[in-house]
Structure 1
Amino acid sequence: MRGILSTLFGAEQKDHSSYGSAEDVWRDLFGGHQSQSGVSVTWKRALEVTTALRCATIIAEGICSVPFKVYQKVTVDNRVERREDQAHALTDIMSTEPNEWQSGFEFRETIGLHLALCQNAYVFVNRVRGDIAELIPFEPGRVEVTQNRDWTLSYTVTAPDGERQVFPAGAIWHIKARAWNGYMGLETLRLAREALGLAISTEASHARMHVNGARPSGVLSVDGPLEEAQLKVYRKWIEAHYSGVRNTGRTLILDRAAKWQSQQMSGVDAQHLQTRGFQIEEVCRAMGVLPIMVGYTGDKNATFASSEQLFLAHVTYTVRPWHRRLESSADRWLLTKKERQAGRYMGFVDTELLRGDHKARSEFYKSGIDAGWMLRSDARRFEDLPYVAGLDRPIMPGNFAVVQADGTPIMPAKSETGKPSNDA
């Protein structure tokens, strides 16, 4: 598939290792979203905020760290089972080779980063004789989406050399998050620009304070002026007897009515740190990631038990919605209607994210199987294990019996020998 983009754009790709076209320079310098703090928030500036960087990384890793497979529903012994479709072209594309320069892991990670910050990801779908041959991600900033008068969509993509090409909707796999108009995801950088801008400004202000400020650990003052020679002797004596780890806690003895004043953190400094801590929560809130996932616990009172539940909440309320969104989008745009009617669909194996809690999972399966409302084959399917014959019939404890409408138990019929019949 080498050269497919060169063919589409009508020219060989040139080396634009710095910025590329003048339009790229303009977009990077002035194309961000201006915030009230005076900071223009672009994706590059946003990723310089460690909280935003970690949030975007967590979302991307949640998408790329579990397998994304093609399944097919099949009927076996009047029972519908799902099987992985290893022969489908998307199986190898998604897991191993989406294009010539990315692995499946890297491809899904790139999509995750685009979705985390822009809520939109654009992938060129290269089809050969109707079959998908490769998937090529486009940078969101290079794509413009237009809704035509007939309500169809078209995508204008700007190449690194500045050339523009219009693609129909069928050629682009557009993955979008929550959308107001139905075809464009609500961009995080735009909606959260105030939180990100204040975080950038606060960090820059704190950095300038350390660059321009002079703040010793304490001030030693004496009555009267000190000559340069006296000052050198005094400094040498202090450093020899009271500086360093080995002199920590020693009693300081002074003469000439000298006074020592310790320099501690001021209230303004403490408020500055509180503001930075609050911005961590604001950025996490905007990006839908729990603060504990970026290493911030706030009041520091989190216990192991509460942290475990927060990690499970992260899987339930952050990772799983992204998985379902990508599954639905892939079913719609990568599989044909004929394939969907044949029972094919795409899915993440997100049970891997819950495998750390073996005890709770085992107790859940055991309670369902013992009570009869879950099959042993169901438990294997939840664990993404292959089907084993003979495990698709419910089992119940021997002293359990089904009751009739009047409350009396239905007893098994007895054979001529007086023992319960096996046919009951």
Structure 2
Amino acid sequence: MKLTQRVKMAWSIVRNDFKATAAGFEKWFFRGRSIFQGKSGGTLATNETIFAAVTRLSNSMASLPLKLYKDFTPVTSPTSDMIANAPNNNMTGFDFIRTMEVIRDTRGNAYALKMYDARYQVSSLLILDPAYVEPVVEQDTNELWYCVYGPKGQYYVHNLDMIHVKHIHGPGYKGINPIDVLANTVEFDKNVRQFTLDQLDTSIKASFILKMATNVSEDKKKEIYANFQQFYKENGGVLIQENGVEIDPIQRNFIDPKVFEVEKITKSRVAMVYNIPIFLLGETEGVSYASMEQLSLNYVTNTMVPIVRQYEQEFNRKLLTREERLRGLYYKFNVNALLRGDMKTRGEFYFKMMRSGGYKPNEIRALEELPPEQGGDKLFISGDLYPIDLPVNERKNRGKGVNNP
């Protein structure tokens, strides 16, 4: 941002009587609770399918290794160490990413405020309750700000000081809440379950059909019914069928098979809204182990990659300066961590990559959490095997030397 733009923006802040952006946030309480606390439970705690979907997405995001790179090489900095290990005084890096993703998936938007130390370096990232944050655009500069509602009024934070990850949205900068999209599905599922419980309650009360002859008087019917009840009570449910009386048990299915069809519909709709394969929600009908790898690849490619890209661009834009980005620095999640196959598949992949000059031996060892070995920092190609920088004539001579000592 140019100096003239900064001056103009500062004047707009003074003119509109904006509050200080980040001072005293740690002491903010509103309506008896901290704006950093947020609300727990809700639909997430009462619907198993949505809980499973959000758990899958948040755990997948939090499990991905996050590193700062410079031209494909991992590097470290105080900020990268902060976000990977201790984004704030209360969270680990895993918990921070998972919490942000849970809030994004249940509220549509997740916000984390950048806090600075005395040297104006980012010292922590504090997660805000999205109920008290509203994106706004300054009318003169067209800059995006975030209006945070506090106990003494409104505080405005510039977009570069706020990490904001969200679901898809239309005009504006606020993501759509997936729970709102699923409101009808959740209500339908709830009503079907309640109807099933009501049926179960009535089915327990009526268990037998007692048949009598048509010429039995009313007094005789009452006597037979009373004897039936007394005999059933005294003999622990064992009945003796006499002449002129038929006793048929009522066959009851305590769980209506159609309830499972409703659950399939619910799982299908939740999977569509969260853009995840339905087999990840426990619906494995028609899924075989042969197709699992392809389905997992579909989950990573179509579900995780867009989410990961959003986090990466937020971190790159707001945790790195333009000069740092021009020097080749960037944050990156290692999505390959979700695609690691079994031991046989990994072995074949590493074998092909090393023989074709794709991986160095030490790079393969690093992927398998093994220490580097001397001589493992060269690329090899099959031949069988030469260092990739060895001239062709030396390869042939070396081959002759081996065959003809």
TM-score by length of 2: 0.75
Pairwise CA RMSD: 3.9
SS of residue matched to 1:323: helix
Verify the 8 A CA contact 2:268 2:278 in the aligned structure 1: yes
Kindly provide the amino acid, as one letter, of the partner of residue 380 in structure 2: P
Rate the CA distance shift 1:317–1:336 in 2: closer, same or farther, 3 A.
Answer: same
Rate the CA distance shift 1:319–1:383 in 2: closer, same or farther, 3 A.
Answer: farther
Equivalent positions of 1:282-297 (< 5 A) are 282-297=269-284
Partner residue, 2:301: 316
Partner residue, 1:391: 377
Task: Give the CA deviation at 1:390.
Answer: 4.5
Partner residue, 1:62: 60
Whole-angstrom CA distance in 2 between matches of 1:155 and 1:63: 25
Equivalent positions of 1:193-212 (< 5 A) are 193-210=183-200
1:360 pairs with 2:345: yes
Task: Give the CA deviation at 1:141.
Answer: 1.9
Verify the 8 A CA contact 1:46 1:52 in the aligned structure 2: yes
Verify the 8 A CA contact 2:296 2:339 in the aligned structure 1: no
SS of residue matched to 1:258: strand
**Structure whose residues are more often helix by fraction:** 2
Whole-angstrom CA distance in 1 between matches of 2:357 and 2:328: 28
Partner residue, 1:264: 252
Partner of residue 52 from structure 1, selected from 47, 50, 53: 50
Q: Greater shift after overlay, 379-388 or 176-185?
A: 379-388
Verify the 8 A CA contact 2:267 2:278 in the aligned structure 1: yes
Partner residue, 2:145: 154
Percent of matched pairs sharing the same residue: 22
Partner of residue 178 from structure 2, selected from 178, 188, 197: 188
Partner of residue 86 from structure 2, selected from 97, 120, 141: 97
Whole-angstrom CA distance in 2 between matches of 1:235 and 1:370: 81
Rate the CA distance shift 1:46–1:10 in 2: closer, same or farther, 3 A.
Answer: closer
| CA displacement 1:327-362 (0-9 Å, x = unmatched) | 122111111112222322212233333335222122
TM-score by length of 1: 0.72
Whole-angstrom CA distance in 2 between matches of 1:63 and 1:395: 35
Consecutive unaligned residues of structure 2, counting only runs of 5 or more, are 1-19, 213-220, 387-391
Partner of residue 118 from structure 1, selected from 107, 121, 126: 107
User: Matched residue pairs, number?
Assistant: 363
Task: Give the CA deviation at 1:255.
Answer: 2.6
Whole-angstrom CA distance in 2 between matches of 1:283 and 1:178: 16
Consecutive unaligned residues of structure 1, counting only runs of 5 or more, are 29-41, 74-80, 242-251, 401-409
Whole-angstrom CA distance in 2 between matches of 1:10 and 1:280: 40
| CA displacement 1:151-190 (0-9 Å, x = unmatched) | 211111123x474322121221112343433733333233
Verify the 8 A CA contact 1:66 1:352 in the aligned structure 2: yes
Whole-angstrom CA distance in 2 between matches of 1:277 and 1:379: 42
Partner residue, 1:135: 125
Find runs of 4+ consecutive structure 1 residues off by over 6 angstroms: 384-387, 410-415
Task: Give the CA deviation at 1:111.
Answer: 0.3
Verify the 8 A CA contact 1:290 1:314 in the aligned structure 2: yes
Rate the CA distance shift 1:261–1:106 in 2: closer, same or farther, 3 A.
Answer: same
Equivalent positions of 1:329-408 (< 5 A) are 329-372=314-357, 374-376=359-361, 379=364, 389-398=375-384
